[in-house]
Structure 1
Amino acid sequence: MADKLLAFDTSTEHLSVAVRHGDRVLSHSGAGGAQASSTLLPLIRQLLADAGLALADLDAIVFGRGPGSFTGLRTACSVAQGLAFGAKVPLLPVDTLLAVANEARHAFGAQRVVAALDARMDQLYAAPYDFDTAGPFGGDPEPLLLAPEALDVPTGWAIAGNAFAAYGPRLASATARHEVLPLATAMLRLAPALLAAGRTVPAAQAWPLYVRDKVAQTTEERAAIKAAAAVPQNPA
C-alpha cells in the first residue's frame, strides 16, 4: 500500500499541499495565484521534513493537472516533473474537478455532485460525478467549458466548487451548494484507487489538462460583448 505520498494543487487562487506518511497527514493551505511559483517548493520541503520524509522515500507525487488557471497548471506540472526527475518517483495526475467532487463527498456526504470551478471569462469548468453508481471516480466524466446558465444539474444533485461568488444567481438550482476547492487532502484520499487503476505517468508525461485553448479575449471581442449587452432586447 502506498502510504508515503506528496500532493499539491495550484489550479485556483488557493494553494494546497499535503503529505501522507502512514496514518499521519500534514497539510497547508494558503494564497496561490502568482505567489504559488515562489512558495510551493519551500512548502513542500517543509512538510516533507515535518513528516520525516525525503523525496526519494515517496511512493508517488500527486498533483492537480487541471482544468484551472493556465499559470497555476504550468506551475504544478513543472514542479511535479522536476521533483519526479530528480527523485525518480512516479507521478499521479488528478483532475481538479474530481478533487472538488471528492471534497464535497468527504465534507458534506454528497454522492452525486456537479463540480464547477470559475474559469473566468464568464465561463465555468464543470463535470458531473455520481459516486452512488459509478465507482470511486464518479464515472470519470470529461470536463466541460460552458456558460454558467448552461450548467445542467439533475434533480437531487449538489453543486460544489468555487463558482458561487461570481455566478451564484446564474446557476441552476440544486439540492445543495457546497463551497469547496480542489484540496491536496482530497487528492490523497483519491490516490489509492488511482494508483490501483494504474494512473501514474512518467515525469515526461506530466501534462496539464487544458479545456480552454484561449487565455483571454481580445480588445475587439470585449468591446463587441459590451456592445451586444447594451442593445435593448425587443419585447416578445
Structure 2
Amino acid sequence: MSAKILALDTATENCSVALLVDEKVYVRSEVAPRDHTKKILPMVDEVLKEAGLALTDLDALAFGRGPGSFTGVRIGIGIAQGLAFGADLPMIGVSTLEAMAQGCFRLNKAEHVACAIDARMSEVYWGRFVRQQDGTWLQFDEEQVVRPALLAENSQTDEHVWATAGTGWDAYSEELSGLKFKRESSDVLFPDAEDIVHIAKFELEKGNTVDVEDASPTYLRDTVAWKKLPGRE
C-alpha cells in the first residue's frame, strides 16, 4: 500500500519529524528538550518542502501519543491536531514505547525490546515488545508507570535476550539490575518520528485512524487533565 504520512513527536527530550512517501522517508530529529515549540513546525515545513508536498496531499498525520513528559506530550498532540484539522487529515496515535522498540530493530535488528523512560518521581514508563513476522509489534508487558524496584521484584526469567531502550535504564540502573531476564544495551534513548511513521503505516493499512477531535494522549498517570481542541470537549 502506498502512503503519504507525516509523523511528529515531542514527548521526550527528542524533537522529531518524519514524512513517509511510499517507501521513502524524510526525517528531521534533534535533542532539544526546551525548544520543541520553536523547532517542530520548521521541521515539518522542511520535510514537506524536500518532498515537494503540501499537508493536503497526505493520507494521515501520526503523532507520539506518549507516555513521556506531560508538557512534551501536550505540545506534540496539540500541534498535530492543529495541522490535521487544517488539512482535514485523519490521525494515528503511536506509543512512544513501541516507537523505541522499532528504533532498536531499525538500528540493531533487535526483536525483543524492553523500554523504560524515566518518569521522574522514582518511577519509569515501562513496556516490553516482541516483533512479529509481518513487522508489527506485540505488547509483551502492559504499558505502565511503575517503581523500578517493584518491576525487578516481580520480573521472571525467560529464554530471550532483551534489548534495552530509553532513559530509565541509566536513571535507575541499580534498581533495574535486579530484573531476572537477560538484557543487552542499545543506543536508543528516545522515540523518533522515523519509527512512529513506520508503525503508523501498518495502522493506516488496518484503518486504525481517529478524527482530530478524538486524538488523545497516553499519560499512564491518571491525574493529569487533558483538553482537546477549543469547542470540541
When normalised by structure 1's length, the TM-score is 0.83
**Structure 1: which 5+ residue stretches go unaligned?**
216-236
2:211 to 177, 186, 202: 202
State the one-letter code of the partner of 2:204: L
Partner of 1:46: 46
Partner of 2:26: 26
CA distance in 1, matches of 2:2, 2:79: 21
Q: Is the 8 A contact 2:81 2:212 kept in 1?
A: yes
CA distance in 1, matches of 2:223, 2:69: 12
| Percent identity of equivalent pairs | 38
Bigger fraction of residues in strand: 2
* Equivalences for residues 129-144 of structure 1 within 5 A: 129-132=129-132, 136-139=136-139, 142-144=142-144
Measured after TM superposition, the shift of residue 56 of structure 1 is 0.2
* Equivalences for residues 154-233 of structure 1 within 5 A: 154-155=157-158, 156-158=160-162, 159-172=164-177, 174-180=182-188, 181-214=190-223
Larger CA Rg, structure 1 vs 2? 1
Measured after TM superposition, the shift of residue 139 of structure 1 is 3.2
Partner of 2:228: none
* Equivalences for residues 112-131 of structure 1 within 5 A: 112-131=112-131
Q: 1:206 to 1:85 in 2, by over 3 A?
A: same
CA distance in 1, matches of 2:44, 2:54: 10
CA distance in 2, matches of 1:209, 1:128: 16
Q: Which whole-Å deviations, capped at 9, do the CAs of 1:179-232 have from their partners, x for residues lacking one?
A: 3121111112212211122221100011111111357xxxxxxxxxxxxxxxxx
Q: Which whole-Å deviations, capped at 9, do the CAs of 1:141-160 have from their partners, x for residues lacking one?
A: 53111112233364323122
SS at match of 2:191: coil
Partner of 2:10: 10
CA distance in 1, matches of 2:51, 2:85: 22
Query: Which range moved further: 69-78 or 176-185?
Result: 176-185
CA distance in 1, matches of 2:54, 2:173: 43
CA distance in 2, matches of 1:150, 1:134: 33
SS at match of 1:122: coil
Partner of 1:111: 111
Measured after TM superposition, the shift of residue 2 of structure 1 is 4.0
Query: Which range moved further: 56-65 or 34-43?
Result: 34-43
